[in-house]
Amino acid sequence: MKNFLYNILAACLLVAFCSPAFAGNPDRQGEAGAYELLLNPWAKSAGLHTMSTSMVRGVEAMRLNVAGIGRINKTEVLISNANYLQGTGIRMNAAGVVQKTGNGAFGISLMALDFGDIPVTTTDQPEGTGSTFSPTFFHLGLSYAHTFENKVSVGILFRGISETIANLSAFGLAIDAGVQYVTGPNDEFKFGISLRNVGSRMEFGGEGLNVQRPAPNNSGGELTFSQRAEDFELPSMLNIGLSYDIRVGTAHRVTLLGNFTSNSFSQDQLGGGLEYSLREYFMLRAAYKYEVGSEDEITGPIYTGLSAGATIEVPLRKKKTADEYVPHLGIDYAYRESRVWNGTHNISVRISL
């Protein structure tokens, strides 16, 4: 069994480093769609700039490395709200549940974007018609992960993607897959690989593509012409991360992490961060992410690369023994600095049973 698992891990490494399909390609930047798949509504991992591929766990793992959903005690419920690029009026709302069953775990997650009310404009009324519309971008993910001997976890997630505006809509399906490997006397070394957003091409359709034009040959009246929208691919990406826990006594933990992201439709990203924990009840984290080859302030990333966050864990009852696990309530906050607007703020509330 161990040899089989090591072969799986070796195969993942080979794919990660040798597959040209996931090399960063700035020439294709902007050619994909459904870029909301790259947004992270969860505060804990957002505080590390979504680079905790090796150590993410529970509900948040469904947004980064699905293999981590099973690394919880029993049940986790998480809700989150994010003010995306404060000043744009866009908010991210998300909720998820993970249930562990033996060596496996099942998870479900929902995410929706709130764009607010957008004025309707036309060629005849460019200043607005007086009415508004609100786009609906919605994701539903179903996942499963299995842990072998508490060392290797593998997971897979199926996600439905729905994008709807006033009179146009598109739907697609995506698959995420991931592996996490833990080793060391106290499981202090962690390694993870995740492949995200691999799926079907999407295409918008609906009455919004129909236009009225005068009938030919001056015959009077109008004809309806139906246009075809160009289909688009999903923003596939590959994450490779590792982390190491440094413990000082029984109360303090400092985790160092590094992560590499290969994007199919943009530049690659490289970064690192650290997390400090006091008895796992209070945590501080910070990270920096750099987009390789992006020096232009106009076409470069919207974020400066800096992120920070904090977590407070509140036990819901007293421990009967020192090693007993007790349910707790967690509150997470994260901030990511941006070049324009006023950054992104995330806040999450979690119940772990």
Extents of the domains making up the chain? 2-123+131-352
User: Tell me, what's the pLDDT at 19?
Assistant: 44
Looking at residue 26, its pLDDT comes to 62
Cα–Cα distance, 147 to 71 (Å, whole number)? 8
252 HSE (CA, 13 A, CB side): 4
Cα 114 from Cα 220, distance rounded (Å): 43
Residues 6+ apart with CB under 8 A from 262: 16, 22, 23, 24, 237, 238, 240, 268
Is the overall model pTM greater than 0.85, yes or no?
yes
Cβ contact 209:226 at 8 Å: yes
What's the fold here for domain 2-123+131-352?
Answer: Porin (2.40.160)
Give the pLDDT confidence score for residue 1 in this predicted structure.
46
CB-CB neighbours of 216 under 10 Å: 7
- Grouped pLDDT means (10 residues each) for the chain, 353 residues: 48 46 58 89 96 96 94 94 94 96 94 90 84 91 92 94 90 94 92 93 86 74 80 92 93 96 89 95 96 72 93 89 84 95 96 94
How far apart are the C-alpha atoms of 3 and 245, rounded to whole Å?
26
> Which long-range contacts link 17-24 to residues 24+ away (Cβ below 8 Å)?
19/238, 21/264, 22/236, 22/237, 22/238, 22/262, 22/263, 22/264, 23/262, 23/268, 24/262, 24/263, 24/266, 24/267, 24/268, 24/292, 24/293
CA–CA dist 39, 37 (Å, integer)? 6
Predicted local confidence at residue 10, as pLDDT: 46
Q: Which amino acid is at 279?
A: R
Sign of CA dihedral 256, 191, 96, 262: positive
**Paired residues of 244 in beta bridges:** 189, 256
Q: What b/e sequence results for 143-177 when a residue is b if at least 16 CB atoms lie within 10 Å of its CB, and e otherwise?
A: bbbebeeeebbbbbbebebbbbbeeeebebebbbb
Q: Which residue has the tokens 């866009």?
A: 90
Q: Where are the beta strands (DSSP E) in 25-151?
A: 75-84, 90-101, 104-114, 118-119, 132-133, 136-148
Q: What is the pLDDT of residue 298?
A: 64
pLDDT of residue 299: 66
CA 163 to CA 18: how far, in whole Å?
A: 33
Contact 303, 39 (CB under 8 A): no
Angle at the Cα of 196 from the Cα atoms of 102 and 78, rounded to 5 degrees: 50
The DSSP letter of residue 276 is E
pLDDT on residue 25: 58
Residue of 191, 99, 107, 98 whose CA lies nearest to 156: 107
- Judged by DSSP in three states, 85 sits in coil
Backbone angles phi, psi at 316, to 5 degrees: -90, -10
Residue 79 near residue 92 (C-beta atoms within 8 A): no
**CB distance 338 to 306 below 8 Å:** no
Check: CB of residue 55 under 8 Å from CB of residue 72: no
pLDDT at position 239 is 96
**Whole-number pLDDT of residue 297:** 64
